[in-house]
């Protein structure tokens, strides 16, 4: 039986305080760090195509009812009072892994063991950062390699060397030999 969907459940605060850029940002504004993580995950989702759910602890918010919001192409969850992100993620991993492939991104070792017992895969926060960077680099390389000189509308009107120089200027590489 093949799994229908791929899910990535992200322990939001665990990731924020594991990534240097976000940790620095959180020192000034936790809200900005959350926003930045969500923006990064939106781009990542667009590349990998998984269903991404990022979960933030709000269990200490007195009277907190919790919230589930769609943010562009990902889902953002704020847990309710007395519910930790770990608990929410464990519950979702258990439910979703019955029919779909689930990966949980957290560096919490105990959480990793628990989600493995629920049939989900684990990914450390550092591994997620590496994968995000790798996916973005692959996309950039693919995009840049798909821009041959022949796509230049002037390519048929000028000689090949002039077309190459125009492309270099067009794509920001103005370091070309003017004497060639």
**DSSP codes, 116-151:** HHTT-EEE-HHHHHHHHHHHHHHHHHHHHHT--GGG
Q: What is the pTM of this model?
A: 0.76
Average pLDDT on 92-104 reads 93
pLDDT in tens, 6-23: 999 999 999 999 999 999
Residues 6+ apart with CB under 8 A from 37: 10, 12, 15, 16, 19, 22, 54
Sequence-ordered list of residues with C-beta below 8 angstroms from that of 150, at least 6 positions apart, any chain = none
- Give the sign of the dihedral formed by CA 159, CA 145, CA 46, CA 34: negative
The CA distance from 49 to 68, in Å, is 20
| Residue ranges matching CATH 3.40.50 in the chain | 6-140
What is the mean predicted confidence (pLDDT) over 76-100? 92
Mean predicted confidence (pLDDT) in 50-69: 88
Which pLDDT belongs to residue 170? 72
Number of H helices, E strands in the chain: 7, 6
Fold entry, domain 6-140: Rossmann fold (3.40.50)
Band of residue 146 on the pLDDT scale cut at 50, 70, 90: low
Contact residues for 148 (Cβ-Cβ < 8 A; gap 6+): none
Q: Per-residue b/e over 117-152, b at no fewer than 16 CB within 10 Å?
A: ebebbbbbbeebbebbeebeeeeeeeeeeeeeeeeb
What is the CB neighbour count within 10 angstroms for residue 67? 12
Round to whole Å and give the CA distance between 4 and 29.
Answer: 38
Q: What phi-psi label fits residue 119: left (phi over 0), alpha (psi between -120 and 50 degrees) or beta?
A: left
């Amino acid at each position: 039986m093949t799994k229908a969907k791929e899910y990535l459940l992200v322990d939001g605060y665990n990731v924020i305080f594991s990534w240097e850029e976000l940790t620095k940002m959180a020192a000034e504004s936790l809200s900005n760090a959350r926003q930045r993580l969500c923006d990064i995950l939106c781009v990542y989702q667009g590349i990998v195509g998984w269903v991404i759910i990022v979960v933030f602890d709000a269990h200490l918010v007195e009277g907190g009812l919790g919230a589930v919001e769609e943010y562009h192409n990902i889902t953002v969850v704020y847990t309710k009072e007395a519910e930790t992100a770990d608990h929410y993620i464990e519950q979702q991993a258990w439910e979703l892994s019955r029919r779909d492939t689930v990966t949980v991104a957290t560096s919490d070792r105990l959480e990793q063991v628990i989600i493995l017992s629920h049939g989900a895969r684990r990914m450390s926060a550092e591994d997620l950062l590496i994968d995000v960077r790798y996916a973005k680099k692959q996309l950039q390389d693919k995009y840049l390699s798909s821009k041959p000189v022949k796509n230049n509308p002037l390519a048929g009107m000028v000689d090949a060397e002039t077309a190459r120089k125009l492309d270099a200027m067009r794509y920001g590489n103005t370091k070309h030999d003017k004497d060639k």
